[in-house]
Structure 1
Amino acid sequence: MLRPSSFRPALRSRAVRSTRFASTGSNPQLEAAQKKAQDVFSSTQQTATKAFENAKKIAGPLGETAGKYLARATKSAGPLGERAGKLMGTYKEPVLYNFTVFREILKQVYRAEGLSPPSSIDVVRSAYRTMWTNATSKAFWQKTISSGEVARLGVYALEAYGIFKIGEMVGRRSIVGYKLD
């Protein structure tokens, strides 16, 4: 009768042979696929690097300033700031990249809508003067009520009030009331 220990070397040699045969065999299709994957990865990496560099260039002083402030904040926070930076770890670059992408989208919207800051103080004064005359004019309110624009103005007023209240909550660092000691 054969002992079980006599089968073990035979089984081991088969496992080693099959593993060795699979790993040492030259497969041209596998090599071509690996080469293509490496080429795609390197081209994607180069494209991403170029996009990131372009985003940095377009961001200009704002991107550099944000980076400087981030570095200063990390340095001034001391060990806690360093820990926070380490906790972000690999997420730091994607967060900064997404910030630059968001800024680029805002720039595109800014250009597409033809937005621009006021060219002079007179433009700002005339805009506020127009708002004040409309707010105090009886004819404006009659026209607004008859045309149904009151609902739109009400929604705008509600949005402004909500933004004001959120600002108050952030300012006092509490949802309800002030923290008194």
Structure 2
Amino acid sequence: MLGRIQTIGSQLLSKGEVLSTKFIGKTNALMQKSMYYGKVGAELSKTVYKQEGFQPPKIGEFKKVYCNIFEMGKHYMNKPQAFIGLVKGAGKNDLIKFGAYGVQLLGFYSVGEVIGRRKIVGYRTT
């Protein structure tokens, strides 16, 4: 009886070892592919950035955009009925467009959080 239990236990352990080895191998291969494609994407982005002559916005452009947004916010705070009319007048395509913008902003925020924490889930405790 004891020998049979030991045999079954050793068989289970050997199967577990084989499965974990396969899992680690696949995970390692996936990680290497991810690193490779990440580097390729970064180099491609760098090349496009240089070829197209992209550059960050100038301070004046930044200031102009955010001043306009601030002024619009003040206007709609003083006249909330105008904002309600704007929302009611929005069509289906506008709602889809702004929903997509919201998803993009959430994605950028989430990536920033991951980078800031240097961890995908939760915060480091040490």
Q: TM-score scaled to structure 1, two decimals? A: 0.34
Larger Rg: 1
